[in-house]
Amino acid sequence: MARAAIVILLVSLFLVATSATALAVESASHGWARYDSPLDGPCTVDRVHWTEMTADRFDGQYRDHKPVVLTGMRGRNDAFRNACAKDVLLREWGDKDIVLSTANTHSYLKVTKTLREYVSSHTAPQRLDRRGDDTLIWFGDNNHTEWRSHFDLYVPPPFGTSDADVAYSFGVGGPHSGVPLHVHGPGWSETIVGRKRWWLSPPKPKPKFHPNATSLEWALGLKPLQEGDEGRVVEVGDDDAGWVHVPERYRMQMERTREERARQQGGTEMLECTIGEGEAVWFPDGWWHATLNLDESAFISSFVNFRHAASGSQDEEDDVFSKIEL
């Protein structure tokens, strides 16, 4: 207990002593706020303009092998992006129920709220004094029958989806919220509005992480708050929105965390990249991945279940909708 108290105290002193800059609103995209987040960084994933990708290249280099980011697709989904504008979503769907999940790897809790309630109460910047199992995010568990007219507007990436059954998963998240490390079958994830930071790691070795850490805690290499902890000292702005202040040294903290993870993985760093509007990342089957929204973001994933496996019988094909290891 004494050791835990010392750790919490040291973290608190670090946060208080560190100079801080506000997570300031820079602009807005379709009504969703963009932020000056210090947690952006380099991209180590292959980036290919979608017009330069071919089916043979995708199948040979990426489909079963490694992630890739398709760029330049913004114009393909103008209609869907307009339908994801904040005022449009709230007007058309604001009073509809959505299912929220806790922001930890196991997603222990599911909570039903209206979209309007979620946007007004759960999309503020993620705080470091909130536990993962006490933080709610909307991603997936969509009612596809009710939302069919919305999903019908979406045009998925043209590779890896034509010979597969596809299931869409849509959501909206506030800045520095996200989904911690998890794994499932293959698919694409496209950022419709905002920016989303991604980390990806091969199936083996399994990355080390705490299942109750939020994406923000994990990205910074901080241990997750536990029930009963007094919490970390976090400076909060005086403005009406109450933006959480983000210490400038967080970027240095992320660099140290990146180096430590590479050491644990035998010298191999995780792939990482920021996925902007009109860009989509491919996550192969079984690849571990975590996400962190840098802005108020709207996003959609296309989970694929290939009808014709590259090898083996039909019975040996992966069922992406049930193969989720936590």
pLDDT in tens, 122-154: 998 887 777 777 788 998 888 889 999 999 999
Q: Are 195 and 294 in contact (CB under 8 A)?
A: yes
Alpha-carbon separation of residue 249 from 72, 260, 290 (angstroms): 33, 17, 22
Say which residue the tokens 């506030």 belong to: 174
Give the bridge partners for 70, in sequence order: 48, 280
What distance in Å separates the CA atoms of residue 30 and residue 42, rounded to the nearest whole number? 26
In a domain, 154, yes or no: yes
- What local confidence, expressed as pLDDT, does residue 217 receive? 86
| CA nearest neighbour of 147 among 174, 116, 166, 169 | 169
Structural domain total, the chain: 1
> The domain spanning residue 164 has which CATH number?
2.60.120.650
- What local confidence, expressed as pLDDT, does residue 64 receive? 93
- Residues contacting 151, CB < 8 A, separation 6+: 142, 144, 168, 170
- What local confidence, expressed as pLDDT, does residue 246 receive? 52
In a domain, 204, yes or no: yes
pLDDT in tens, 272-306: 999 999 999 999 999 999 999 999 999 999 999 87
Torsion, Cα of 293, 299, 305, 308 (10° steps): -100
pTM beyond 0.75, yes or no? yes
When pLDDT is cut at 50, 70 and 90, the band that residue 13 belongs to is very low
In a domain, 317, yes or no: no
pLDDT in tens, 60-88: 999 999 999 999 999 999 999 999 999 99
In a domain, 319, yes or no: no
In a domain, 271, yes or no: yes
When pLDDT is cut at 50, 70 and 90, the band that residue 27 belongs to is low
Domain interval for residue 44: 2-308
In a domain, 321, yes or no: no
In a domain, 186, yes or no: yes
What distance in Å separates the CA atoms of residue 106 and residue 326, rounded to the nearest whole number? 6
